[in-house]
Structure 1
Amino acid sequence: MTTAPEVGHPTVWLDIDGAVGILRLDRPPLNVLDRAAQSALRAAAERAATDERVRAVVVYGGPTAFSAGGDIKEMAAMSHAEMVGHAAVLQGAFDAVAAIPKPVVAAINGPALGGGCELALTADARICGTEARLGLPEVLLGVIPGAGGTQRLPRLIGPAKAKELIFSGRQVGAAEALEMGLVDYVVPTDLVLDSAVQWAQRFETGPALALHAAKTAIDGGLATDLAAGLAIERSVFAGLFGTQDRSTGMRGFVTDGPGRARFSGR
């Protein structure tokens, strides 16, 4: 599948193919994310979040590499004061992907290391090829993950497994990543993008507001205790009763049976 970039930067852009937005990293050979690419990533993610044509998003690094992470040469030249100022910018780029109020899937080929793995963690699901490698090797450089890895990885696979990966800095292959829950599906390398697009296409005509609400409730609940999470759920659940999607969905169920409604996203 080839489409012309609709918005973006020479290293990161958003392609829109039907109702699927493909957030593409294009800084060969390894899609290293320097400061310019981080800014472009945030801009593309914010565009995907607000573009009404986009109902789901695929994050894709290409057929040979997802991303090898941050630009080590660039970071090695930064002082403590510079990184104190930049750390929020770094996290902000990844947070923008996590905050996309639509289903997001990472399509992973080759290495997804350091910041690349952290970027994959911002997605709602991860599909990887059989030759993919994932890991957070920052401790081997004398630092720790700084774009969400110490927070998102434990929430995904549990603190013990997350600590083992972060403390050791080791990389895992596709089979082990699937076993520990780091990725959700493993497919042949040449089918990664198509599989991710097919995953995203399931939401083309779905209830956009309900999907947004579900993502808000789940992600918001994970960041707090059970009582506060239930309050979030209660609020967004009740809020949907003022939407056209709720009216359409329930009316369609009553008159036509489940799965027949056509949603507007309003």
Structure 2
Amino acid sequence: MYQSLNYQKQGPVSVIQINRPQKKNSLNTELRHEMEEVMREIAADAKQRAVILTGGEEIFCAGADISEIEGAASAEAAYQHAREFQILFEQLEALPQPVIAAVSGYALGGGCELALACDFRIASDTARFGLPEIKIGAFPGGGGTQRLPRLIGTAKAKEMILIGDPITAEQALAVGLVMKVTPKARLMEEANAFAVKLASLPRLALQASKMLINRSQEMDLASGLELEARSFGAIAHTHDLAEGTKAFMEKRKPNFTGD
């Protein structure tokens, strides 16, 4: 059905795999459109509780397809190209389900920015993360200058972006870019185990928590607290909150339904 990605549902977990090995899993217009279609389907499916995004064993994603960038003949065309992928990453970030990037091999340029738009990153010990655009006279145009400093701090983000050298999985773990490093052979097993754990949690509370944390980056404290309180009120009469409270009192495991 899809030309540039593989998509499957494994119970409550959706798995998206970038599949352009002949182009080093680079991001092009076709892949963008296919990802947008898949994300619309996932967002509308309440039975899908978590998402894994992955690539190949040697290359997660090598960034933007250079042949398309070369076709941007004007400042306006380059702007539009950047915005198209910024919007794609915003859609990924805004998915109601938590998204896990399972990264093996190189995640460079737009590939690194793609991983940054996910909620969690689990890396194989062979993973390398980098924003090397400075070395060709450019800089990250898919959100890297905005998301990376929010995630790892300004100083380290400047080092990665202004120098452009990639970092190892262990270095990424040390600065908080990834949550876990695992042997390559166990990457998908670890990602799936974490996704299943997320999928077992109360859906509405999980979605609200993700939304509130994401929105906290753009709101002042007073506005954020107001939104938090409003959202807390919105889940007050959900089945899962009642079930979770009852299970706690009865000292048993809750049976969450997602409602």
**What is the TM-score of this pair, normalised by structure 2?**
0.94
Distance 2:143 2:41 in 1: 21
Q: 1:45 maps to which residue?
A: 39
Q: 1:220 maps to which residue?
A: 215
**TM-aligned CA deviation for residue 252 of structure 1:** 2.3
Q: 2:174 maps to which residue?
A: 179
Alignment of 1:49-64 (within 5 A): 49-64=43-58
Q: Is 1:125 matched with 2:124?
A: no
Q: 2:256 maps to which residue?
A: 263
Alignment of 1:107-118 (within 5 A): 107-118=102-113
Corresponding letter in the other structure for 1:74: E
Report the 3-state secondary structure (helix = DSSP H, G, I; strand = E; otherwise coil) of the residue aligned with 2:59: coil
In structure 1, the gaps of 5 or more residues are 1-7
Q: 2:99 maps to which residue?
A: 104
Contact 1:13 1:40 in 2 (8 A): no
Q: Which moved more, 1:54-63 or 1:136-145?
A: 136-145
Distance 1:55 1:157 in 2: 27
Report the 3-state secondary structure (helix = DSSP H, G, I; strand = E; otherwise coil) of the residue aligned with 1:66: strand
RMSD: 1.4
Q: Is 1:159 matched with 2:159?
A: no
Distance 1:141 1:49 in 2: 37
Q: Is 1:23 matched with 2:16?
A: yes
In structure 2, the gaps of 5 or more residues are none
Q: 2:30 maps to which residue?
A: 36
Q: Deviations over 1:130-162 (max 9, x none)?
A: 111101111222222111111111110011111
Contact 1:12 1:25 in 2 (8 A): yes
Contact 1:138 1:145 in 2 (8 A): yes
Percent identity over the alignment?
39
Q: Which moved more, 1:81-90 or 1:53-62?
A: 81-90
Q: 1:78 maps to which residue?
A: 72
Corresponding letter in the other structure for 1:57: V
Q: 2:230 maps to which residue?
A: 235
